[in-house]
Copies of this chain bind each other. A is one copy, B any other.
Amino acid sequence: MDDSKETGRVEAFSDGVFAVAITLLVLNIQPPSLSTPQLLVDSALSDYLRHQLPMLLAFVTSFATIGIMWINHHRLFLHIKRTDNTLLVLNLLLLLMIVFIPYPTALLAQQFAVYPSGNLAAKVYCGTDVIMAVCFNLLWHYASFRNRLLSKDADPLAVRAISRQYAFGPILYLISFGLAWVNVPASIILTFMLALFFAVPPRSLRLLP
């Protein structure tokens, strides 16, 4: 088996999980059914769509979150070229969080729409993000430690840039989690900014001296 092929199936399986998880999100926004035809008159439909706005926002947010996680997974596996049993298990752990993420997102959107003063959903949401950040770090550190599973020609600067960017993840998400106990909107805004931070490749952040 040549060097370039070993991660093929892990990537294919992971791509499948990401693709299904990101597409299932749409099941949370449903048009009014034919059994309630009165909701289909223009004026009632307009109200119906307006009430669905928080679910639509949760859909776009979950989609962006899982999409950014996929970009990160893709970025890591540009460098990871070999697999072993531990990597497969750590990757499964990460995919478990990916598959789970629509749940706390819908929870957050619904509680925020109805009882903006509650903060339980925000705690669950931010707690999930902390675990996700830890999973990404576990996977990356296991693979990159002494170049264990990296390509022989992996760029050491790029590898270190990713390690540095990821090191901030758990800490920053923990701050966001702490904020959820005192100020939900601030916590949500910080979480969104963190998502954008991880959407950008580490080099362009000039984290390296």
Known contacts A16-B15, A16-B16: A67-B45 contact under CB 8 Å: no
- Secondary structure of the A side of the interface? helix
Contact A99 B23 (CB under 8 A): yes
- Per the bound structure, the CA–CA distance linking A207 and B97 in Å amounts to 34
In the assembly, how many copies of this chain are there? 4
Which residues from chain B contact A37 at a C-beta distance below 8 Å? Answer: 114-115
Taken residue by residue from 175 to 206, chain A's Cβ proximity to chain B (1 for < 8 Å, 0 otherwise) reads as: 00000000000000000000000011100100
Contact A99 B20 (CB under 8 A): no
- Per the bound structure, the CA–CA distance linking A92 and B178 in Å amounts to 31
- Per the bound structure, the CA–CA distance linking A85 and B205 in Å amounts to 13
Whether, in the assembled complex, A157 has its beta carbon less than 8 Å from a beta carbon of chain B, the answer is: no
Whether, in the assembled complex, A74 has its beta carbon less than 8 Å from a beta carbon of chain B, the answer is: yes
Name the interface size band of chain A.
35 or more
Whether, in the assembled complex, A173 has its beta carbon less than 8 Å from a beta carbon of chain B, the answer is: no
Interface centre among A23, A26, A77, A96 (most CB of B within 10 A): A23
Contact A20 B16 (CB under 8 A): yes
Taken residue by residue from 63 to 84, chain A's Cβ proximity to chain B (1 for < 8 Å, 0 otherwise) reads as: 1100100110010011000000
Whether, in the assembled complex, A142 has its beta carbon less than 8 Å from a beta carbon of chain B, the answer is: no
- Per the bound structure, the CA–CA distance linking A1 and B73 in Å amounts to 17
Which residues on A are within 8 Å of B, measured CB to CB?
Answer: 1, 4-5, 9-13, 15-27, 29-34, 37, 40-42, 45-46, 49, 51, 54-55, 59-60, 63-64, 67, 70-71, 74, 77-78, 85, 88-89, 92, 95-96, 99-100, 102-103, 106-107, 110-111, 113-115, 118-121, 124, 199-201, 204
